[in-house]
């Protein structure tokens, strides 16, 4: 009984109260030993929750506590070594017994020596997170370690009270999830049970509910270690627990956002050609710095923070206008915790405009394009600008930052879509002459908004039906025309503008004006050129008499069509820059002699020499169409058409002819559908065009252009 009374009086003296409620003389401060791991020790330029607790105790009950322990330093998280003496505010009692990475499984065996050397009245312990996070211990095992810890404290100081801090959860910022939540909750429940079981009248054991308002995504700078707000959260719960033991008062209302008031160092600025080099002293504990700038020459009154922190102690601000005066200041960053700006310095940048024009090249890819260009001397980078030709109102947009290299691969582009590109050399913000432009179609299947079929009678469908089956008799349009067979089920139905007898002039004057300017992502197909070459007249002459004497003149006329066709194709492309424009070409009209099996009426009229001439002229026409398509940088399907029709031209006999011969035209001196595709021929046309489209979808397309 006498021993119990003596112990009770010691405890009352520690708390500052006398027996029977009478005021006591000033009691000696309670000796507080703080034990923990990195969360408690802190790292360079932390305030630490020990600091927050000390400031609270000093503000509410000055002299109530004396922090004791064998250490005063924090961990240098940059050099990854112990011994840093840099606190955000060193004006507090720094004594402690915490160590970065310390697990309870080790500390339980050494705490006795620490207690013996520091003689604490109260031991605050926040340990256990490392045991199951890194050592694989279960909550039950960690609680067992804590039980041994309590026993070893009491072995060294039987009257010491112990405050066990609840273990805190951690946060994975990449996976956006709380770590070990269930294990942490289990362990904290065991800590509460342990405190209730081990607490005595001479050696109180209580818990600090540090996890109560704890949010590791908001209260840490790296998912584990407390930021300034988190430090206050931890300190407040220990203050409340200490108040329950008679040391100090409860913390009260906690602030919701506590700044890390560590300022960056004063930078040193070096003016360079169109740039300013910034050097600054390292801020202890900070692993990066935000750079804030104010362009004085532009009249800016506020600093703008650059969007990402910079590691190291040097950085060069590029993209500055020659003669600009710019102020810079530094803000230290520790993980996700930013400090406050340091003193600002200013400098003036110089430079000159880029003089040369880069030459731009490119190639398509799947959802991307590959750009490269010739270098320009004296530049800091290149702006890349793009115009989405698949939109109905294409305008230039600039990638938000210049590229320092002479190549770039823009990604996340649409499938099967035309884009126009250019690069602009930049010296700081001084722009040089823009490059040429290139149009690149990405690989993939395009999501066409419209489909227009242009051209002559081969496009309109003449010859695919009887004369009374055209829905537009003037232009001889039929739904058996290949334009109706080209689209897949999910693609738009054609708007067939083709007309029998059309020449290139009709494309310009009648058909093309019916397509809106910049119609977006569309498909345009056409056959044109046969009427410009005079094929209809030649075929009539061949049937009514010998026409081989016209061959040389016809070849010359076809050669002369290249520029006219190229101009037509270019006009289509310029009206619809986002279109896949496919020039289909013509079949070779008749099978090669002597394989031709024409009817007697037909065979008697056209000689083998005339058949050869017709094939030569059609082949020549296709070659000129392909060259004109290359000149205008549209897509030619001439080879695909000839390949699909091979062996099925007029007079194919048992092989099946896909081009009408004159014998099939009844009641006319010369049937209008003579030497035009049959319904089966239009199917072949559709296959030929889709063969070419499949190649286009597989590899994309590229073209140089001077268009803006």
Of 96, 166, 676, 682, the active-site residue reads 676
At 140 the three-state DSSP class reads: helix
Contact 369, 415 (CB under 8 A): no
Q: What does the block give as tokens for 562?
A: 């290249």
Active-site residue flag, 97:
no
At 80 the three-state DSSP class reads: coil
Instruction: Establish how many alpha carbons lie within 13 A of residue 453's alpha carbon, considering only the half-sphere containing its beta carbon.
Output: 30
- Tell the burial category of 55 from Cβ atoms under 10 Å away from its Cβ (0-12, 13-18, 19+): middle
At 543 the three-state DSSP class reads: helix
Q: What is the spatial distance between Cα 294 and Cα 290, in angstroms, rounded to a whole number?
A: 13
In the 8-state DSSP scheme, what is residue 663?
G
In 530-607, which ranges are continuous DSSP H helix?
530-533, 535-544, 551-559, 562-575, 600-605
Instruction: Round the CA-based radius of gyration of the chain to a whole number and report it.
Output: 43
At 618 the three-state DSSP class reads: helix
Residue from 329, 222, 233 nearest 276 by CA: 329
Active-site residue flag, 600:
no
Q: For the chain, first and last CA: distance in Å? A: 101
Q: What is the spatial distance between Cα 171 and Cα 137, in angstroms, rounded to a whole number?
A: 19
Q: What is the spatial distance between Cα 39 and Cα 107, in angstroms, rounded to a whole number?
A: 15
Residue from 458, 399, 370 nearest 638 by CA: 458
Q: What does the block give as tokens for 81?
A: 């070594």
DSSP run (H or E) holding 632: helix 608-632
Contact 234, 241 (CB under 8 A): no
Dmax over CA atoms of the chain, in Å, equals: 143
Contact 62, 26 (CB under 8 A): no
At 224 the three-state DSSP class reads: coil
Beta strands per DSSP E along 573-626: 580-583
Q: What is the spatial distance between Cα 387 and Cα 361, in angstroms, rounded to a whole number?
A: 16
Q: What does the block give as tokens for 246?
A: 């008679």
Q: What is the spatial distance between Cα 324 and Cα 272, in angstroms, rounded to a whole number?
A: 12
Beta 450-455 vs 495-496: how paired, if at all?
parallel
Angle of helix 562-575 relative to helix 608-632, nearest 10 degrees, comes to 40
Residue from 504, 452, 507, 457 nearest 477 by CA: 457
Of 203, 457, 459, 460, the active-site residue reads 457
The residues that are catalytic are 457, 676
């Amino acid at each position: 009984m006498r021993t119990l009374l003596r112990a009770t009086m010691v405890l009352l003296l520690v708390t500052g109260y006398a027996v029977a409620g009478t005021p006591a003389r000033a009691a000696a401060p309670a000796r507080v030993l703080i034990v923990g791991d990195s969360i408690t020790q802190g790292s360079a330029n932390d305030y630490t929750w020990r600091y927050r607790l000390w400031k609270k105790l000093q503000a509410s009950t000055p002299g109530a506590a004396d922090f004791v322990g064998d250490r005063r330093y924090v961990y240098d998280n940059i050099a990854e070594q112990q011994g840093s003496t840099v606190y955000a505010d060193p004006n507090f009692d720094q004594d402690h017994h915490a160590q970065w990475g310390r697990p309870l499984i080790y500390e339980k065996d050494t705490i006795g020596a620490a207690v013996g050397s520091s003689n604490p009245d109260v031991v605050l312990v926040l340990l256990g997170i490392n045991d199951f996070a890194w050592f694989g211990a279960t909550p039950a095992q960690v609680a067992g370690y804590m039980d041994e810890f309590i026993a070893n404290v009491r072995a060294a100081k039987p009257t010491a009270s112990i405050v066990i801090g609840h273990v805190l959860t951690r946060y994975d910022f990449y996976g956006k999830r709380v770590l070990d939540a269930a294990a942490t909750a289990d362990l904290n429940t065991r800590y509460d049970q342990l405190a209730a079981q081990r607490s005595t009248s001479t050696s109180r054991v209580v818990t600090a509910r540090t996890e109560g308002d704890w949010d590791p995504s908001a209260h840490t700078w790296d998912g584990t270690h407390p930021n300034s707000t988190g430090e206050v959260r931890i300190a407040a719960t220990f203050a409340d627990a200490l108040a329950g033991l008679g040391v100090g008062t409860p913390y009260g209302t906690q602030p919701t956002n506590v700044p890390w008031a560590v300022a960056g160092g004063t930078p040193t600025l070096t003016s360079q050609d169109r740039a300013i080099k910034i050097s600054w002293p390292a801020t202890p504990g900070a692993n990066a710095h935000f750079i804030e700038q104010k362009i004085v020459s532009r009249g800016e009154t506020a600093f703008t923070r650059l969007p990402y922190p910079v590691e190291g102690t040097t950085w060069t601000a590029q993209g500055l206008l020659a003669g600009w005066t710019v102020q810079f200041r530094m803000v230290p960053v520790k993980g996700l915790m930013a400090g406050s700006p340091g003193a600002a310095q200013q400098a003036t940048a110089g430079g000159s405009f880029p003089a040369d024009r880069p030459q731009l090249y490119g190639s398509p890819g799947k959802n991307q394009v590959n750009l490269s260009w010739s270098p320009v001397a004296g530049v800091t980078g290149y702006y890349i600008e793009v115009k989405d030709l698949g939109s109905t109102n294409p305008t230039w947009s600039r990638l938000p930052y210049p590229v320092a290299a002479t190549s770039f691969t823009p990604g996340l582009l649409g499938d099967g879509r035309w884009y126009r590109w250019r690069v602009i050399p930049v010296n700081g913000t001084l722009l040089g002459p823009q490059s040429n432009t290139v149009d690149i179609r990405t690989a993939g299947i395009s999501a066409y908004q419209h489909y227009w079929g242009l051209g002559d009678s081969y496009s309109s469908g003449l010859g695919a039906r009887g004369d009374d089956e055209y829905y537009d008799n003037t232009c001889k349009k039929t739904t058996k025309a290949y334009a109706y067979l080209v689209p897949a089920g999910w693609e738009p139905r054609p708007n067939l503008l083709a007309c029998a007898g059309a020449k290139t002039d009709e494309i310009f004057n009648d058909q093309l004006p019916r397509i809106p300017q910049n119609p977006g992502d569309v498909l345009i197909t056409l056959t044109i050129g046969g009427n410009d070459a005079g094929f209809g007249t030649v075929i009539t002459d061949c049937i009514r008499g010998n026409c081989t004497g016209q061959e040389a003149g016809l070849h010359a006329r076809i050669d002369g069509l290249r520029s006219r066709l190229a101009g037509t194709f270019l006009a289509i492309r310029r009206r619809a820059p986002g279109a896949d424009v496919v020039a289909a070409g013509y079949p070779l009209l008749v099978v090669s002699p002597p394989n031709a099996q024409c009817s007697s009426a037909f065979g008697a009229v056209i000689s083998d020499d005339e058949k050869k001439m017709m094939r030569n002229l059609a082949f020549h026409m296709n070659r000129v169409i392909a060259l004109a398509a290359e000149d205008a940088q549209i897509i030619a399907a001439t080879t695909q058409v000839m390949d699909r029709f091979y062996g099925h031209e007029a007079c194919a006999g048992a092989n099946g002819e896909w081009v009408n011969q004159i014998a099939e035209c009844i009641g006319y001196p010369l049937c209008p559908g003579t030497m035009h595709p049959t319904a089966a021929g239009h199917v072949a046309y559709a296959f030929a065009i889709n063969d070419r489209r499949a190649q286009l979808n597989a590899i994309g397309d590229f073209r140089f252009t001077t268009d803006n």
